[in-house]
Structure 1
Amino acid sequence: MSIIQRPKGVSASSRFAPSENASGAWDADALKGLGRNSRVWVLTPDGARGSQWSAGAIVSEGKAPDTLEVKLDDGRIHEVSKRVVMPANPPLLEGVVDLTQLSYLNEPSILHNMDTRYQADNIYTRAGPLLIAVNPFKKLNIYSQDILRQYQNGTTEEPHVFFVANKAFCAMKGEGVDQSMVISGESGAGKTETTKIAMQYLATLAGGSGMEEQVLQTNPILEAFGNAKTLRNNNSSRFGKLIDIHFDNCARIIGAHVQTYLLEKSRVVHQAKGERGYHVFYQLCAGANSEERSEWGLESADKYNYLSGGGDISIKGVDDKKDFLDLKKSLKAVGIGEEIQHEIFQVLAAVLWLGNIQFTPGEGTQVVPGNSAVDLAAKLLGTKRANLEKALTTRTIATGKEKIVKPLRSEEACDGRDALAKAIYGSLFNWLVAQVNTSLSDSRSSTSTISILDIYGFESFQHNSFEQLCINYANERLQQLFNHHLFKLEQEEYQAEQIDW
């Protein structure tokens, strides 16, 4: 998330739409004070991408009204409209740690500053009270214990998620006021990883009660059941979560509570090309031992319709078998023993076999003869084949005191089967979150809380569904709340003090 501040005396409209006058002088507020050889950004055509900002310097007034001659850094000279010219910052300000230090806070200047820092592996940049993080898509050695101690001891104030987490912790501890950290951004921006890093820092800072390790173990559990590979992100959160971390009067972690939002249940039964379903299904198929595979009739992931629809079964660099063993350890750490784990994985296997149930075409559909998936699904769900088959192929309509059993068409049966699979998985996910919360609760009363919101970001795919509408609407409301608190409340304070803003 980025913030653009307005230079003193420059209106929002005049910065992007220079005004005209009879003499053609450069009186647009955005270009005021610029002259020959002043550094500027010019919006230039760029083939398939449409346009891009190019650096250059002003040569002179253009021949046509409201134009300038600008020499780009590659030597080309263009006559361009003033409307596509923005002032550039001096080289001294390239790569500053805080965007508010820039003389000109326009789009190309902000992007250039971010790119300059990114090329030097400085992925964090401050924007006043905000921290902007750019996903490096590689491992960086900036989260070591030595660096953590620097922020803990206050020996550095370089932009970092550690700095934000430390600031929230110190404010909570010193002022006794609950704190919130909102982590938002586009899908694939690195929100989930940032959340984990912030939680790790707080656990190190406020450890000692023994609860902090349990709090951290919630991450691999929620990721396994709520994250999946998408076209933009190999570990995309397909749900939102608010994590409340509770502290005692000595500022030690004594518990936590997780609240989840908008689980993408449609992903259980369908994935776009190049995507996967939820990680836990692939982990189960890869990591179950021979006894479990025999009991649940498990096969490789590519044998299941609910897992092979996207065409991608594995993720490069990810070991699903190892992750399955880690998941079991994490479940045990939050108080879910082997017996309950066995039942959880049995339900997951049942969902997979539901997806392999096929129906005869046309009216009055039936399960395809010889289809063993219905037997396995019924067994794993603890019911009889006849009961499951009847539930999938018929619909009961109540009319007064009578009940009418209506046969379904094959398309309706498929929809019902998928709805059942989604309902089972959604209920299992909610139950699992409730179990985690029970494990993380504490009889001691909490004196303060730090809340971390991690919600999946704006999305726009080639084929969008109701989930994308919900996701984007939630993000719009979150952005509205952010704007209200950061801008509108500040403006009201200015107005109350009769200060021109």
Structure 2
Amino acid sequence: GARVWLRDKELLLPATVSSRSHDDLVLTTDYGEVMYLQQGELSRDQVFPMHLTSINGVEDMSSLAELHEAAIMYNLYLRYQKDCIYTNIGSILAAVNPYKQISGLYDPAAVDLYSRHHLGELPPHIFAVANECYRCLWKRHDSQCVLISVESGAGKTESTKLLLQFLSVMSQNSAGTPQSERSIRVEQAIIQSSPIMEAFGNAKTVYNNNSSRFGKFIQLHFSQSGNIHGGCIIDYLLEKNRVVRQNPGERNYHIFYALLAGADKNHRGCNLPVETPTLEDSDNTAS
């Protein structure tokens, strides 16, 4: 019944001791594989006990007693099974895409709860990062930055929306001061710009139906009272070749399909004769 790590070639696998005798050791990995090991073949490097922090899982992986890739992945797996998709690594937040809706995770009550606590006082959450960023604007009297970086389909776009959602609420509630009409318009413009940016810069790929094919830098300006009073969005590295060519199973940018969906039926497909342009009229041919 003891929990151990089993070294299989270059991998460390979480496993459970099924039985033990003077001659051999029977292990069952978490992937269902049964391993029979002779006592004479065993070594400390091949099978060793799993630490309690790895068995139970931790909210902050900097407190893991075993710092290797297998322990990190197993800890994320344990929390993922409990719908705890956020895990801290010191001041870094690791997020695992649940690919489903988790009740109450981002509702107004969660925003209010994390806005009243410092980082580390509550379970890991993207709202905790956003709140710490907002507080540090005045605590350190300096600009703050949140960097979201990971592979396609992991949830960068949605995480950005959640950060903006939290900062918008904090802006509205800041110091109990009423916001000006201009400040409210700025907040709404920044939040509502996301679907527009996605329409022109996101496309379906084999990994993600709404994959961002460009980089995005969002800058927010806060007043001394804590309200958002300005901002800008800078895009860069747009995947331009997708406009003219897509890989099998992928699509062009969303905006082209939106234009076709909104067009009159008579204009969606024109039965025009197809002619092969010659060198003489190539300057007048659109590509």
TM-score, normalising length: structure 1: 0.48
Q: 1:93 to 1:81 in 2, by over 3 A?
A: closer
CA distance in 2, matches of 1:77, 1:283: 59
Does the residue aligned with 1:42 lie in a helix, a strand or coil?
strand
1:53 alignment partner, one of 10, 13, 26: 13
**Cα displacement string for residues 6-54 of structure 1 (whole angstroms, at most 9, x for unaligned residues):** xxxxxxxxxxxxxxxxxxxxxxxxxxxxxxx974312438xxxx96724
CA distance in 1, matches of 2:101, 2:2: 39
How many residues in Structure 1 have an aligned counterpart in Structure 2? 266
The 8 Å contact of residues 114 and 122 in structure 2, kept in 1 or not, is answered as yes
**2:117 alignment partner in structure 1:** 154
In the TM superposition, what are the counterparts of 1:271-350 in structure 2 within 5 Å?
271-288=246-263, 290=264, 297-299=267-269
**1:42 alignment partner in structure 2:** 6
Aligned: 1:227 with 2:202 = yes
**2:64 alignment partner in structure 1:** 102
> Structure 1 residue 71: deviation in Å?
3.6
> Structure 1 residue 175: deviation in Å?
2.1
> Structure 1 residue 92: deviation in Å?
7.6
1:175 alignment partner, one of 112, 135, 140: 140
CA RMSD in angstroms, aligned pairs only: 3.2
The 8 Å contact of residues 43 and 54 in structure 1, kept in 2 or not, is answered as no
**1:129 alignment partner in structure 2:** 91
Aligned: 1:259 with 2:224 = no
Letter in 2 for 1:154: H
**1:383 alignment partner in structure 2:** none
Structure 1's unaligned 5+ residue stretches are 1-36, 64-68, 304-352, 368-385, 394-416, 419-501
Aligned: 1:366 with 2:278 = yes
**2:36 alignment partner in structure 1:** 77
**1:442 alignment partner in structure 2:** none
Does 1 or 2 have the higher relative contact order (CA < 8 Å, sep 6+)?
1
> Structure 1 residue 126: deviation in Å?
0.5
CA distance in 2, matches of 1:149, 1:219: 23
More helix per residue: 1
Structure 2's unaligned 5+ residue stretches are 173-178
Q: 1:82 to 1:232 in 2, by over 3 A?
A: farther
Query: What percent identity do the matched residue pairs reach?
Result: 39
CA distance in 1, matches of 2:15, 2:217: 42
> Structure 1 residue 196: deviation in Å?
0.6
Q: 1:268 to 1:102 in 2, by over 3 A?
A: same
Letter in 2 for 1:391: D
Larger deviation, residues 50-59 vs 72-81: 50-59
The 8 Å contact of residues 39 and 58 in structure 1, kept in 2 or not, is answered as no
Letter in 2 for 1:124: Y
Aligned: 1:200 with 2:165 = yes
Bigger Rg over Cα: 1
The 8 Å contact of residues 88 and 109 in structure 1, kept in 2 or not, is answered as no
TM-score, normalising length: structure 2: 0.81
In the TM superposition, what are the counterparts of 1:347-496 in structure 2 within 5 Å?
360=276, 365-366=277-278, 389-391=281-283, 418=287
The 8 Å contact of residues 239 and 260 in structure 1, kept in 2 or not, is answered as yes
Q: 1:159 to 1:91 in 2, by over 3 A?
A: closer
